[in-house]
Structures are given as structure tokens and as C-alpha cells.
Amino acid sequence: MAFIKIENLFKKFGNVAAVNHVWLEVKQGEILTLLGPSGCGKTTTLRCIAGLEKPDEGDVIIDGKSMFSQGFVPPSKREIGMVFQNYAVWPHMRVFDNVAYGLKIQKLPKKVIKKKVAETLESLGLTGLEGRFPGQLSGGQQQRVALARALVGNPKVLLLDEPLSNLDAKLREKMRFEIKSLVRRMGITSVYVTHDQAEAMVISDRVSVMNTGNIVQVGTPEEIYKKPATRFVADFIGTTNFITGEILEVLKERGLLYVHTEFGQKMLCKIPDPAMASTNNKVNISIRPEDIEIFTEPREGRDNLFKATIMHRAYLGNFLYLFVNIDSTMIRVQAPYDLMQKEGEELFLFLNPEKCVLLP
Amino acid sequence: MLLTATVFGLPLAYILARYRLKGKTLLAALILLPIVLPAYAGAFAFIVFFGKQGTLNLLLLQLGLITKPVNFIYGLHGLVFIQALHLLPFIVLSLSAGFTNIDPSLEEAAEVEGAGGFKRFLTITLPLCTPNYLAGAVIVFLWPFTDWLTPLIFGQIDFLPSISYINIAYHFTDMYRKYMGIVSVVVSSVICIVMFLISKRWVESKKYTSLSKGTTLEGRIIEPGAFKRFWSYVYMVLIAILVLLIPTVLGLSAFSRRWALTPIPTYWTLDNFKLIFLESPGLLKNSFVFSGVALLWGIAFGLPAAYLITRTKIIGKEALDFVITLMLAFPGIAVGVSYLLAFWEGIPLATLWIIMPLSLFVRRLPYFVRMAHASYLQLDVSLEEASEMSGAGKLRTFINISFPLLLKGVFVGIVMFFIMAFQEISTAIFLYRGGWETLPIGIFLNWHRGMEFGIAAAMAFFMIVIIFILLLIVSRIGGGIIGAAWGSSGGRY
Ligand SMILES: Nc1ncnc2c1ncn2[C@@H]1O[C@H](COP(=O)(O)OP(=O)(O)OP(=O)(O)O)[C@@H](O)[C@H]1O
Ligand SMILES: [Mg+2]
């Protein structure tokens, strides 16, 4: 069931459409990430949900209630918890007062406030820091205080805008899992903004990829990774190789087609979408470095086996990373670490048709 | 005058911004002090010290170095001298801010390209400071158009504001002179506003600083060689002494009687202070009451105005900002005169004391709004948004979050507002009536009557002491007396 519905949301700043007629649904209790490059409109979308920004068109519906079209519901009345990118922990208040702020505004009895704050601080490992000012906390601790403050009032919705981007790499990794398990446990519907695809993969139930104000694809991390809808998504999520070409022949009954590639050889490819499968169509084939199989000897009569020359070879511990050329097309390949071939030597790449994704 | 201030201010700013020197903070504080001292106080002090029968002349005569008193101070050169000293801090502050903010890599790049020390300074450092310099220079340049009292003290009346003052002061006897006065007020106002707008345009078109964001670092700090260090000290101390002369001399005159014809006073007394306290406690009370009331209005009006300008998108906020900025350029004398004319007859306001704080308030409001505005800009919006997300409305957010966080910046603004209102004379002099005299007006009247210089000096000294105490409070809170002076410069601009 959709808990948050974003309907035809449109917001422009000057002449730039920051959010360009976006439709999106967030299910009850799920964690959805808005993922995309800098400036694609993630923050603006999130701020519209929060009510910190008023859209030019469209509506946001939370738990069946319209936030804009039937009179503007101010942020303070939306029962939303929000974690800001720079934490926005109030420097003049102690940790306790920061977290208790929203509860005090609800005029809860002192005892209840104390209990709730203590519980929340405990679940975030902040017990004992109640009396400190934010200036006396590390970045990671401030981040947890911001999270505690957002969660303490049991909000209907939790919004997080790149909450981990100011932390160091190690802490960031740890916090991803912590946030995920905490939010899961509380069952709060969450929208999480990030431009880090690894973070999005770890944290979300579903990912919504944005580009220049539009949502390009929505799906589980696996769907997004394995079946990217556009070249942009394939490129943005993880690392991939693109081979351009033209459709030569469609083998409908086998669910496959032949592409005449830029390096002049025929290549077999799975048909993802019948609409695309007509001859002479120009296409991109995406294949990930780890999906490419390597042979040191040629095999007669086998499809999709191409001779390639190693240009660069980098040792990354548990595997090798190769830059190889098929003709003059550069392909990145992940190879087993015990591969003997050196730079300048030849090998054979098998591009499994099942793993090749055909994109417009 | 701008030239003089620049010539003296440039090396000073460079020293302050770039050299690592012991005791720099203290010397800097002294050098920047005139910013909060009224110009007329400095003028009095220098007349006593450098005048024809002043301390310096008498000393030199006694030592036999000269046979006739030298005219150090009366005349145009004296005027330029004292005004330059008074305005030096503006130049120094704006320039040293510029020096500090320059991205060190820009200069280092020039160094790598082979530009030597002085050449680098001329071709890279100075041009990069132009916007900062202009900001300070406008204030300095416009000053003579607004300050009528100092020229008068030095016997120079060929300045627009002074002419206006004299003409208007005698308007009771001669209607014709009144109109002449008004015309000259209008002329100087127009000049001020036009200059101000032009320079504002210019500064805005020349902002390079946005390229690399304002560095929080100290900028490029140099360990000066022994030679440079020595001369820097000499230079700074010299100017600091000149500044210190002001309170010293005023203090001497304040505690003495009939100080004349001797280098230092011979007869010490507290009579002057007794007189002030016995005969005219009203002056003090008026000063405090008027400034206080003006301040309350300033807060009540200034904070919301700053809020509107910074945080909302309501229509007309640009206009509000513009009008308030424009008031900065408006000479005090013009405010006084227009109030006088507007409220003189028919409207009973001019006959109520409330007009005094009202005029102070109007005159100083822009500085306060500017300061509040500046503090607001530094306050991260997300702190306020976080409060709204926690369920607090706008008003609640302002009370709980914005106001406490703004308080420090605003407090400096408040004290500066008070100091400025406290020493205000150019507006008040036109509006006061018997019984509404403030301390500065008292100083002026006592000086004007000629005989009571001791009392005038005592009042001025007293005022400086009050200002000093306020400054101390500010520096406690605002961090360093430089911070205090900064506050005022931010406010004035
Ligand atoms: N207050 C504003 N005024 C003007 N333009 C804005 C404003 N806020 C955002 N924009 C513009 O809208 C577009 C989308 O901005 P937004 O902040 O939503 O991007 P984002 O996806 O969050 O990027 P990032 O990952 O860098 O945070 C950008 O082009 C940005 O310049
Ligand atoms: Mg953003």
C-alpha cells in the first residue's frame, strides 16, 4: 500500500526545473532511496515532502492526506522526522534538549519525555552524552543526535538527506547498516537521499534513480543493477562497458538477436523488450566487468567469443582488473588473480548473451 | 583626506593582516579605537595638545627649539589630519579584511611565475583588495559631506555641512538663511546618495572574492625580518600614541581648571565633574533615556526587518532593503533638518521629547538592521528548518532557535547601536529644546560658549569612559576588542 504518493510534482527555480513532473510511491514501512548525480533534484523532492519547499505544481499525499492541494500543511504539522545533511544539531542546546525539543513542543509530561529520550539515545549508543553540547561531540556522534532527534517522536515518515556524507569511509559503512536495521525495527516509512550508489544498494528496499529532475527508473537494488532501463542508469550504478552497434537479425523463437558491433563482428544478445527488436535499430550493449568470462585458447564455432589484447593490468588483491582492447574498443574486465597473461598479450573474452543488456 | 587615510592605512592594514607580531592585538585595538570615539572629542583633544598655546608648542618653546608658536592644527591641514585619524580604522579594517581573505595560492602562483615581492603586491594583492578597499573608501570619502562639527571646531566653515548648520542655526533670525541652509543640506544629501549608489554598483560589479569561498584560515601570515619588524612597531606605536592622546588630554583637562599657558595642568580639581553631576544630571539622564528608547525601537523594528529581508520572499523586501541601505548614506544633518521641518508646526510631535529618540532611532537603524542581517546570513537555515520539522511553528522557532543563536551577533550590534546613539550630535542638535540636552549637546554648548572648556572636556572624557566600558562588555562577549570594532564597521557599512 502506498503510504506516500508524489503526484505530478513540479518545482522550478528561475528557469531550471529542479523537479520535472515526478510521480512516485513509497510503500508503508519501506526504505526508498532517491539516487542520482549532483543537482538532479533529490533534495528538492525531499524538501517538498517535508513541506520546506512549495511545489509549483502537483501534490504530495501522506497517509491519505493531501499536503498541498487542499491547503498547505506546514512542516510542523506533518509528523515527519528529518535528518539534514549538515545534521543541523542546535549548538546552543545540550544533547538531551536537542532530542527532547519536539516532545516538549507536544507538551508531553516530563517523565514521558525523559523516558523516551533515554530510550532513543540508548538505541543509538549515545547514553551518557545527554549533558554535552554539540560542540563537544564528534561528527559521528552529532550525526546520531540528529537521527535521535528525528526518531524520538515516532514520526510517520523519516526523511534523510545524505546523512552520512560528512563521515569518514569506515564510519559511513557501519552507519549504513545501523540506520537500516534501526529504521526497519521501528517500521518507519523512509525516504533516503544519496548520490552514492553503494550506499543506496545497501540501505534501500527500492531505489529510485533520478536524472535532471526526472525519475528514470524505480526498482529493487537487484533490478536496477541487473536490468537498468537506460544507458544512464547502467552507467551510474556500478561499472559497466558499453558496446555500440546496429541490430542485424532477430531470432524471435530463441529470444535472441544479432548485433553488428562497432568492432565489426557479430554479437549475440538477449531480447529484453520486443519493441526494441527491429533490424537496423542503433543500440548500446551493456556488460559488467565481472560478467565477462576469460579463455586463454580460442574455441571454434562459439558465439560471442572475441580476441582481445591486454592494455593495462592492475592487481587488486582478490582479483585482477584488466583494460583490454577488442579491435580498438576498450573493455574493462575483472579477471581471476592467477591469470598468467601479461600486458600486450592476447586472450579471449566470452560475453554471455544472457548477461548482455540491450539498451536504446 | 581619502588619500591621507589611504596612505597611512595601507601599510597598517598590511602589517595587521600579514605580520606575526607580539602585542599586535593590543596595538590593533588602540589603532581601531577612534571608530567608536566621536570625532569632536578627538578634535578637542588635538586642539589642546597641538594648538597655538597647546602642550606641544609650549614644550618646544621652553626647550628653545622654536621662538614662535607653530600652527600645527588650525586650518585645513589640521582638519584633514584629525579626520584622517578618525577614519583610518575604516580603511584599515576593510583592507586588512581584504588581505586576509585573499587565497594564499593566488599570491603563491604569482611568486612561482617570478613576480618579486613589491611587484606581486602591486599587481596581484592590491587589485584583489579593490572591492574591500572601495567599501571602506566610500565611508571615508563621504564623511566630510556629513560632518559639520569638526570643521567648525577648526575654524573652517567652507564645508557644505558646516554651512548648512550655521545657516539653519540662525534661521530664527533670518528666513532667507534658513532656505540657504536647506538647499545646502539637500545638495550634500544628493551628493552622498549618488556617490553611495555609484560605489555600491561598483563594489558589486568587482567582487572577485566569490571565486574561492571566504577562507576561514588566517590567510597568509609572514614572519617579518628584524628591520621590518622594528619599523612596523614604530609605525603602529606612533599611531597608537596619537589615538591615546585623545582620552589622555581630555582627561587632563577634565580634572583640572584654567589649564592654559602650561604644558600640563597646574591646578587639579574635581570641580568639573561636580558641576556636571550637580548642575546637569539631566544631560546624563537624557542621554541614557533617549539612547535607550531608540535602542528598544531599534530592536523591535530592526530584528523583524532583518528577518523579512533574509528569510522570506515577500514582495517589497528589496525595496525595504534598499531604503534602509540608502539611509546609511543620508547625512545626519539631513535627518535632523527634515524632521525639524516635517514636525515643526502643526504636528505636535516636535514639541514632545519623543522626537529625540525617534531621530536617533531612524539614524542608527540601518546599521543595526545590517548587523542583524549579517548574523542572520551566518545562521544556517537548516537549524531553523529542523525545528519546524520537530513540530515548532515559525514564531516558536524564532524564539527557541534563531534568537538565542543570533544573540551574540545582535548583542554586539545592540551595544554599537547604543554607543552610536549615545554620541550622536549631528541630528539631535537641530531638534533639542530646553531640558532635552544630551551629553554631546552639552559638550557642544559648553564649547560653543567658549569659557567652559574644562566642563566640555570633562563631559567628553566621561562619555569616552562610558563608551569604553560598553566596549569592554562587547569584547568579553564578542571575542576581543577587535571583534568589537569589527562589529561597528560591519554596522556602519
Ligand atoms: N533554493 C534554490 N534556488 C535556486 N536554485 C535551486 C535552489 N535549490 C535547488 N536549486 C537548483 O535546483 C536543482 C536541483 O537541486 P537539488 O538541491 O534538488 O539537487 P540534489 O539532487 O539534491 O543535488 P546534490 O546531490 O548536489 O545535493 C539544481 O540545479 C539546483 O541548482
Ligand atoms: Mg542535495
CATH of segment(s) A2-236: 3.40.50.300
DSSP state of A84: B
**Measured between alpha carbons, how far is B426 from B148 in angstroms, rounded to an integer?**
8
Element (H, E) at A326: strand A319-326
Chain A: residue whose CA lies nearest to B396: A105
Is this model's pTM higher than 0.80 or not? no
Q: C-alpha distances in angstroms, A356 versus A226, A329, A342, B47, B396?
A: 10, 16, 27, 92, 58
pLDDT score for B286: 75
For residues B171 and B164, give the distance between their C-alpha atoms in angstroms, rounded to a whole number.
10
Spatial contact of B390 and A90, defined as CB atoms under 8 Å apart: no
Residue type, B238: L
Report the relative pairing of strands A256-261 and A241-251 from DSSP bridges: antiparallel
Helices (H), B102-125: 104-112, 117-120
CATH topology of domain A241-359: OB fold (Dihydrolipoamide Acetyltransferase, E2P) (2.40.50)
Among A2-16, A74-88, A306-320, B341-355, the range scoring the smallest mean pLDDT is B341-355
Residues 6 or more apart whose CB falls under 8 angstroms from that of A39 comprise none
For chain B, domain boundaries = 1-269, 275-493
3-class DSSP string for A207-253 = EEEEECCEEEEEECHHHHHHCCCCHHHHHHCCCCEEEEEEEEEEEHH
B39 vs B144: CA distance, rounded Å: 11
Q: Which of B38-52, B93-107, B366-380 has the lowest mean pLDDT?
A: B93-107
Taking only the tens place, the pLDDT of each residue in B316-375 is 767 777 777 666 666 666 666 666 665 555 555 555 666 677 777 777 777 777 777 777
The 3-state DSSP class for residue A287 equals strand
Quote the pLDDT of residue B215.
36
Q: State the distance from the centre of ligand 1 to the C-alpha of A250, rounded, in angstroms.
A: 44
Q: What's the pLDDT score for residue B305?
A: 79
B168-202: per-residue pLDDT in tens?
A: 555 555 555 566 666 666 777 777 777 777 766 76
The residues facing A335 across adjacent strands are A320
A17: left (phi over 0), alpha (psi -120 to 50) or beta: beta
B212 confidence band (pLDDT: 50, 70, 90)? very low
- Contacting residues of A for B393, CB less than 8 Å apart: 74, 76
CB contact under 8 A, B391 and A105: yes
Q: In what order do the strands lie in the sheet with A319-326?
A: A292-295, A346-351, A305-315, A319-326, A329-336
Pairing verdict, β A157-161 and A80-83: parallel
Residues with CB under 6 A from ligand 1: A 13, 16, 18, 36, 38-44, 195
Partners of B383 on chain A (C-beta within 8 Å) are 88, 90
For B275-493, give the CATH class: mainly alpha
The predicted structure's pLDDT at residue B280? 63
- Kindly write down the DSSP assignment for every residue of B42-68, as one continuous string: HHHHHHHHHSTTSHHHHHHHHTTS-SS
pLDDT tier for residue A162 given thresholds of 50, 70 and 90 = very high
How many A-B residue pairs are in contact by the CB < 8 A criterion? 61
Using the mean position of ligand 1's atoms as its centre, give its distance from the Cα of residue B381 in Å: 15
Q: What is the pLDDT of residue B211?
A: 39
Q: Specify the pLDDT at position B289.
A: 76
- The pLDDT tens digits of the residues spanning A167-220 come to 888 888 888 999 999 999 999 999 999 999 999 999 999 999 999 999 999 999
Alpha carbon nearest to ligand 1 atom 2, residue: A13
The dihedral region occupied by B150, where left means phi > 0, alpha psi between -120 and 50, and beta the remainder, is alpha
**What pLDDT does residue B468 have?**
76
CA distance B171 to B344: 13
User: Which tens digits make up the pLDDT trace of B220-261?
Assistant: 566 666 777 777 777 777 777 777 777 777 777 766 655 555
Q: At A347, is the pLDDT very low, low, confident or very high (cuts 50, 70, 90)?
A: very high
Q: How confident is the model at residue B56 (pLDDT cuts 50, 70, 90)?
A: low
ipTM score: 0.79
A334: closest CA of chain B, how far (Å): 41
Nearest CB among A82, A85, A106 relative to B389 is that of A82
pLDDT tens-digit readout, B442-469? 777 766 665 556 677 777 777 777 777 7
Q: Do A74 and B390 touch (CB under 8 A)?
A: no
| Residue predicted with more confidence, A313 or A274 | A313
Query: What pLDDT band is residue A348 in, cutting at 50, 70 and 90?
Result: very high
- Chain A positions in Cβ-Cβ contact with residue B392 (cut-off 8 Å): 76, 101-102, 105
> Could you state, in order of their start, the residue ranges of all structural domains in chain A?
2-236, 241-359
Domain B1-269 has CATH 2.60.40.650: no
* A156 has pLDDT over 80: yes
